[in-house]
């Protein structure tokens, strides 16, 4: 098997949660295949292509040694039974980690410069906007009207489901290009302060550390960019006041406590997954909220 990652692999682990969760697809594949001895040889052009930091290098080295995997760096076999090979692997891993941090710092400066120039930085463009030729958010003539319709409809007493049905009737697509609108997608729009005329970013300045750790060490940089205002503050506040009121008064007692309640969301419509417990069959399942309501 030959795997080409090109230049889009990013970090080895998820920085947002600070966990050991493997994020790179390549590492997930080989980690699963090693344990079953499906993959017994691993060839990499350069150690920097195998891991992005010292922590993951040590993790991989342990897995390679434990599962008896033969590692080839370019044309040279790395034998972890030999002390000198272990030493060289460790030294090269430190060098690669240093170089990757240098690249991270350069990328970080570029990101901060883009944001300070009031330009949108990556991710899914908020519903109601487009990205202009200069990289800044601009009002979309059609979807911006749909945003205003959502706020006004909800403020007049319509439910989130009513709004979703209306959007689907018109044929409006979500930012993920879906025709199905989940309650959670609409609720996120109604609670998004970007429509008031600004978007706030919190940039982590320590690579590989969680957002909480960066905050604790005062290593986050807050940057606010200006956006075209789609909703006035009075309407925004009225809508969100009603959302909070409905949340407090509309919750029914939880019959069964499920482990991943309010943590799973549908990949198609962003609706919350509901946990279903069937004591008779002794099964626990999760279903999309939009499917449960049908």
Distances (CA, A) of 249 to 100, 190, 191, 252: 50, 19, 18, 9
Tens of pLDDT, residue by residue over 43-98, are 877 766 666 666 667 777 777 777 777 888 877 888 777 888 878 877 877 887 78
> Of 237, 261, 279, which one is at a domain's C-terminal end?
237
- Min mean pLDDT across 106-110, 153-157, 251-255 is at 251-255
Q: Where are the alpha helices (DSSP H) in the chain?
A: 25-35, 54-67, 83-116, 143-155, 160-170, 183-190, 211-216, 233-249, 289-292
Per residue in 258-279, pLDDT (tens digit) is 666 555 656 555 556 666 676 6
Q: Are residues 189 and 111 in the same domain?
A: no
> Would 12 be classed as within a structural domain?
no
> Do 275 and 232 fall into the same domain?
no
Query: Cα–Cα distance between 119 and 139 in angstroms, integer?
Result: 14
Beta bridge partners of 129: 139
Are 186 and 224 within one domain?
Answer: yes
Residues in the chain: 294
Backbone angles phi, psi at 200, to 5 degrees: -105, 135
Distance CA 228, CA 179 (A): 25
Q: What are the distances in angstroms from CA 270 to CA 112, 155, 182, 186, 252?
A: 29, 22, 6, 9, 22
Domain span holding position 189:
141-237
Domain-embedded: residue 178: yes
Please check whether residues 166 and 206 belong to one and the same domain. Answer: yes
Q: Are residues 195 and 268 in the same domain?
A: no
Q: Is residue 146 domain-shared with residue 231, that is, in the same domain?
A: yes
User: Within a domain: residue 152?
Assistant: yes
Does residue 58 belong to any structural domain of this protein? yes
In a domain, 269, yes or no: yes
For every residue of 79-103, DSSP letters joined together read -TTSHHHHHHHHHHHHHHHHHHHHH
Q: Is residue 264 part of a domain?
A: yes
Whether 123 is in a domain gets the answer no
Q: For the segment 119-149, what is each residue's pLDDT rounded down to a tens digit?
A: 998 888 999 999 999 999 999 999 999 999 9
**Same-domain pairing of 107 and 151:** no
> Do the domain assignments include residue 48?
yes
Is the Cβ–Cβ distance between 227 and 137 less than 8 Å? yes
Number of folded domains in the chain? 3
**CATH code, 167:** 3.90.1750
Task: Give yes or no: residues 182 and 258 share one domain.
Answer: no
């Amino acid at each position: 098997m030959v795997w080409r990652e090109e230049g889009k692999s990013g970090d080895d682990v998820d920085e947002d949660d600070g966990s050991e969760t493997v994020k790179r697809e390549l590492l997930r594949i080989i980690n699963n295949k090693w344990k079953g001895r499906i993959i017994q040889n691993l060839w990499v052009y350069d150690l920097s292509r195998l891991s992005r930091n010292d922590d993951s290098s040590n993790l991989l080295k342990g897995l390679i040694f434990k599962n008896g995997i033969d590692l080839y760096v370019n044309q040279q076999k790395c034998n972890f039974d030999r002390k000198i090979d272990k030493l060289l692997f460790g030294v090269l891993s430190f060098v690669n980690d240093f170089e990757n941090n240098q690249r991270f710092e350069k990328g970080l400066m570029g990101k901060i410069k883009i944001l300070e120039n009031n330009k949108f930085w990556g991710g899914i463009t908020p519903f109601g906007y487009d990205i202009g030729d200069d990289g800044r958010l601009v009002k979309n003539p059609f979807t911006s009207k749909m945003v205003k319709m959502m706020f006004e409809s909800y403020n007049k007493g319509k439910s989130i489901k009513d709004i979703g049905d209306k959007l689907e009737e018109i044929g409006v697509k979500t930012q993920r290009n879906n025709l199905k609108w989940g309650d959670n997608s609409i609720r996120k729009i109604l609670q998004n302060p970007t429509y008031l005329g600004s978007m706030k970013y919190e940039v982590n300045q320590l690579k590989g550390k969680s957002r909480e750790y960066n905050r604790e060490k005062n290593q986050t940089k807050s940057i606010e960019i200006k956006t075209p205002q789609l909703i006035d503050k009075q309407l925004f506040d009225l809508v969100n006041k009603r959302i909070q009121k409905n949340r407090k008064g509309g919750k029914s007692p939880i019959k069964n406590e499920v482990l991943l309640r309010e943590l799973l969301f549908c990949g198609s419509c962003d609706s919350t997954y509901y946990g279903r417990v069937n004591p008779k069959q002794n099964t626990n399942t999760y279903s999309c909220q939009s499917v449960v309501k049908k």
